Structure 1
Amino acid sequence: MARPPVIAVVGPTGSGKSDLAVDLALELDGEVINADAMQFYRGMDIGTAKITVPERRGVPHHLLDTLDVTQEASVSDFQQQARELIADIHARGRRAILAGGSGLYVRAVLDVLEFPGTDPQLRRLLETELEETGAEGLHARLREVDPVSAGRLSDARRIIRALEVHQLTGRPFSSFMPQREYFQPAVQVGLAVDREVLRERLARRVHGMVDSGLLEEVRHLDSVGLRHGRTAPRALGYAQFLKVLDGGTTVADAAEETIVATRQFARRQLTWFRADPRIAWLDWQDPQLVPQAAALCR
């Protein structure tokens, strides 16, 4: 028998993706696969708004709490793990529901996308060059071999990755970018938000995180190596509250910085997902949201 389409619930942070995924799982006999890169990390609960066990309402959730904060998240590892889970869930006659706002991670699972390998020695050479000459020198090199990627990338880590891929494969990094071609049948449900309402909701959510003990969570994670990670310490809220621990800012100022950064991140997420014409957008506050989404998925 043909397997059912993979379901993906996408949209900006704070739009209710986790809740809708659980509702759909209960409606369609499904299981949820996390696609929020920062929710892979054990102990990063408050600051990532990780869904709690009671909030899961008995629905199995996968790929939560799979990494220590000192480990680096890998899109290629996630692609393999998520696809294996999807195959297993469908083989058991249930529906696989991918939920999260990390756009590249979602596309890595849904779309035809290959990942070039890595070379730790080459990576170290490029990182040493970055320290010695700065990002502009590396960016200039990238413009010569891959002007498309050079026009898109400004982050030093991504520039290094693009140069590494070119030197390893002889192909520009941009040639590995995903096309809008599903790896297997899929349905994407996007949560369309009122941006002003979302702005206020995100502010309230950050203040709620602070009241729930975000600073203490960051303090504990700092004691087990948060700063030594490559991905985790860059997470929204965690980067800002590490500065509180260092005495460089106040809790109030860190909260405001987190609110601003979270709103900016939500705008980038909307830009990313809005560029995909395959997403069916539903009003996040519609009382009929769940039956509408379930009908799309059936």
Structure 2
Amino acid sequence: MWLDTLKSFLYIAAELTVLFIVISFVISLLQGYIPYEKIEKKLSGKNKGIAAFAAIVFAFITPFCSCSTIPVVVNMLKKKMPFGIVMIFLFASPVLDPTILTLMGVVLGWKVTIIYTVLTTVFSIIIGFTLEAFGFEKYVRNVVMTGYEEKNQQFNVKLALKETFDLMKSVYPYLLIGALIGSVIHGLVPTEWISTVFGKDNWWLIPIAAIIGVPLYIRLSSMIPISKILIAKGMALGPVMAMIISSAGASLPEIILLKSIFKKELVVMFILSVITMSTVSGFIFYLI
């Protein structure tokens, strides 16, 4: 049993390593041709539809975890960008990581990935504009945060390799942790138990998974191999996706950082919004 677990870990780790390096390198090369200045102008534009689309594009091309999104949000607020657009970026950036989305497509299937991308995009836009409409901008503190630098240089092969290596140092350990947890589940947890307790008929697991995902702080890179094993063992897709979205969209470290730039009313609404987004998305996957 332990030998099977080890073999499973080595196989999953090797597969994800190759995919991660290739995908990260290609995306790093492509980012050198992205017109960041034009996108920033669109973010500040009067057309809310175009600005929202630009916020989603900006979130997609700036692959950050939930914590590292905060300095960018502060920078956007300092530039007096529309509050709703900033909130769209805040919700979308952690969940729309191009490298992880590509991994998700290979591991979980492109249909699941496309639905995930559409749902998180739509909910990010709805939540952002809703918070703006209800006047939550007044709960933003006047805070200046340093340490954020904008990217305005063209990438070449050497810089792309450096960026890939830097990304591996910050994200790759979580991939290995996810592969290890997934291998343990694969080798030691009975399939019958997972399919019975977490199977398709237990719809009530979706909101529970959405709530649990926030304090767990399981990064997307860790959740991909874990979710693959859980689904293979018979766990329903709904609660798996609910946990993926909530764990990526919010975390305890991020909430602590948000308290330094948002007042408690907006922090609470942020948490509730992430839980709502992940729960409703989970139910949509459940129905599909």
- What range describes the TM-score normalised by the shorter chain of this pair? under 0.3
Bigger proportion of residues as helix: 2
Question: Looking at CA atoms only, which structure, 1 or 2, has the larger radius of gyration?
Answer: 1
Bigger proportion of residues as strand: 1
Instruction: Tell me: higher relative CO, structure 1 or 2? Use CA pairs within 8 A at least 6 residues apart.
Output: 1
